[in-house]
Structure 1
Amino acid sequence: MAKERVEFFGSFIDPMTMDETIEKIKDIIKIKKITQHVVVNVAKLVMMQSDIELRDAVNSCGIINADGAGIVFGSKLLGIKIPERVAGIDLMERLMKTAAEAGYKIYFFGAEENIVKEVIRQVSFKYSRLKIAGYRNGYFKESDEQKIVEDIKKSGADILFVGIPSPKKEKFLNRNLNKMNVPFVMGVGGSFDVIAGKTKRAPLWMQKIGLEWFYRFLQEPGRMWKRYLVTNTKYLFMLTKKLGESILFSK
C-alpha cells in the first residue's frame, strides 16, 4: 500500500524506507513507467525556497526521498513522520546490485570525462554481470542537449544515473524526462566522484550522527564552505521560526 506524501517547507517527500523505495523502483521498471527520482537534502530544500522552477521540478518527481539527517531530524521536530534517511549514494549502490541480478541496463551521465570512465571501470569490476547501456560526461553546451537526450534514448537503458549538480540536474530532467524513454531516472549528485575515488565518503559513525556533510566540507573547504555555512544557517532559521509558530499557535 502506497504511503501518502508529506510536505516539508514546500517540498513533497515520500515517507519510505530504503527497502520500500527499492521495491517501488522494481515495479516501475517492470511496467516501464517513466519516473524521475530525486532526493531532498538541506541545501536543495533551502534553494527551493527561492527557486520556484527547482521547487516545481522536484515536486513533479515520481519518487522523492529524504537524503540528509537534517531533513529527517527537522521533520521529526515538526511532527512529520519520515521513517529514515535514504541516501542517494546508498540507493545507487543498491540499485546497481539489483540491476546486475535482474539484468537491467544502466546509463551513467555526469561528472568529468576521466571520472565517469573510472566509474564505469569500478562498477564493471564490482558487478561483473552489470549491463552498461552507455555513459557520457556532464559537461555540455545547450546546443548539445538534444543529441545527449537522443543518445540516451537509443541506449535502451532501464536506469539513468545523472551526476550533475543541482539545480541544473533537476531542470535538465524536467525538460527531457519523457523524451529519453528511460523507466527510472535518478539524480545522484556527487556520487560519481565517490565511486571513482576522487572524494571519500564519511566513516559510518559520522554518517549515523548526521555529520557526513562536515566530512565532505573538510575534503573540499574552498568549494563547500559557502554552501554549508549559508544553507545550514538558513535552514536553522527556518526550523526555529516554524517551531516558534507551532508553539505560539498551540497555546
Structure 2
Amino acid sequence: MVIRRIRIAETGVRFSLGPPTMLKLFGINIADLSLVETLARLNELRLSGGQHLVVTANPEILLEARRHPEYRQVIAGASLVLADGVGVILASYLMGQPIIKGRVTGVDLVEAIVKDSGKQRYSVFLAGSTEDILNKTTQYFSSKYSNINIVGRYSGLKIKKYETGVSDGETNDLIKKINEVKPDVLLLAFGHPKQELWLVDHLKQLSVKIGMGVGGTFDYLSGSTPRAPRWLRIIGLEWLFRLINEPLRFSRIVDATIVFPAYVLLGIIKKLFHMEQ
C-alpha cells in the first residue's frame, strides 16, 4: 500500500455533551457513545464549521491501521471514531477501558443519519456501490421514512486500489456531482482503506461538512446481502452468519475473530511485562 503522509488538523470543537470516554487501541482513540449520542455529536460537528472525517472502526479497520502506520494516522486524525463490532467491545473490557454504551455499527448509524436528515434539515449524498444497490437503498429509506433528504447518488466510480494523490476523470466527475448539490453528509461505500484515504485526500475539494466511509452498508440496507438476525448480532455471532452466507469473506472473518484478538492479547501482555517502549 502506498499512502502519502497526511495530517488532519484538530478542529478545536467543544461539545455540549462533554468529552466521551475513550478506549485507546493501536494508537487510536475510540469514543464510548450510544447511537443517540453519536447523532447528537454528528449534528454538533456539522454545525461547528470545518470538515470532519467520521470512522466506524471494526476489527478489520483497526488491524489495517495497525499494519500500516500511515493509514493509522488517517484514522487517528478523524474527528470521531466509533466502536463497530463486538470484537472492539470485548477488547475494551480486556484492556480495562470498557466501552459500556455498546457498539455503533455502520449500518445502524447510516440508517439513523438518513432518518434524521429531514427532521434536522441536513442533506445526504450516497456514493459508491452499484446503481442498482443505491436505487434499492434509496427505495428502502423512502418506503420506511416519510421525511428524508437524500440529495444525490453516484455509483460510477470503481476503485480497485487507491493511492492518495492519484486522481482521474471519474474522481473529478464525482467531485463535480457532489459539489453541485453541496450535501452536508457524504456516505462513501468504497470499502476500507480506500474510502478513508479517498475522503482525506479530497475532502478539501468537496462542499461537504462530514465524510464517512460506510463499506458494505448499502448492500445490507438494499437487501442485496442478508444481515444477521438481531439476536445473533447481540450475542456476537454475526461473523458466523456472514461466513455461512458469504464464504468468500473467510480471510476477513479470520482477521476479525482470530488475528485481531491475538494482537489485543499481545498488547496486554506487553503492557503487563513492560515490554513496550
Q: Is the 8 A contact 2:87 2:256 kept in 1?
A: no
> For residue 207 of structure 1, what is the aligned residue in structure 2?
233
> For residue 14 of structure 1, what is the aligned residue in structure 2?
31
> For residue 144 of structure 2, what is the aligned residue in structure 1?
126
Q: Is the 8 A contact 1:100 1:127 kept in 2?
A: no
Measure, in 2, the Cα distance between the counterparts of 1:72 and 1:152: 35
Alignment partner of 1:228 is 2:253: yes
> For residue 242 of structure 1, what is the aligned residue in structure 2?
267
* SS of the residue 1:115 aligns to: helix
Measure, in 2, the Cα distance between the counterparts of 1:93 and 1:201: 14
Q: Deviations over 1:46-81 (max 9, x none)?
A: 111122232122111111001001001111101123
- By how many angstroms is 1:87 displaced? 0.9
Measure, in 2, the Cα distance between the counterparts of 1:248 and 1:192: 44
Measure, in 1, the Cα distance between the counterparts of 2:203 and 2:106: 19
> For residue 165 of structure 1, what is the aligned residue in structure 2?
191
- By how many angstroms is 1:115 displaced? 0.8
Q: Is the 8 A contact 1:104 1:130 kept in 2?
A: no
Measure, in 2, the Cα distance between the counterparts of 1:85 and 1:218: 23
Aligned pairs (5 A) from 1:144-163: 144-163=170-189
Aligned pairs (5 A) from 1:59-98: 59-83=76-100, 84-98=102-116
* SS of the residue 1:176 aligns to: helix
- By how many angstroms is 1:140 displaced? 3.2
> For residue 114 of structure 1, what is the aligned residue in structure 2?
132
Greater CA deviation, 94-103 or 229-238? 229-238
Q: Is the 8 A contact 2:114 2:149 kept in 1?
A: no
Measure, in 2, the Cα distance between the counterparts of 1:34 and 1:245: 37
- For residues 126 and 33 of structure 1, do their structure 2 counterparts lie closer, same or farther at Cα, with a shift above 3 Å needed? farther
Measure, in 2, the Cα distance between the counterparts of 1:231 and 1:81: 19
Measure, in 2, the Cα distance between the counterparts of 1:104 and 1:239: 38
Q: Deviations over 1:199-241 (max 9, x none)?
A: 11111111111111221222110x2001112443221221222
- For residues 248 and 140 of structure 1, do their structure 2 counterparts lie closer, same or farther at Cα, with a shift above 3 Å needed? closer
Alignment partner of 1:192 is 2:218: yes
- By how many angstroms is 1:4 displaced? 5.4
* Structure 1: stretches of 5+ with no match in the other structure: none
- For residues 40 and 239 of structure 1, do their structure 2 counterparts lie closer, same or farther at Cα, with a shift above 3 Å needed? same
Q: Is the 8 A contact 1:54 1:167 kept in 2?
A: yes
Amino acid at match of 1:110: G
- By how many angstroms is 1:106 displaced? 1.0
Output the aligned Cα RMSD. 1.9
- By how many angstroms is 1:247 displaced? 4.0
Greater CA deviation, 140-149 or 173-182? 140-149
- For residues 7 and 157 of structure 1, do their structure 2 counterparts lie closer, same or farther at Cα, with a shift above 3 Å needed? same
* SS of the residue 1:3 aligns to: coil
The structure with more helix, counted as a fraction of residues: 1
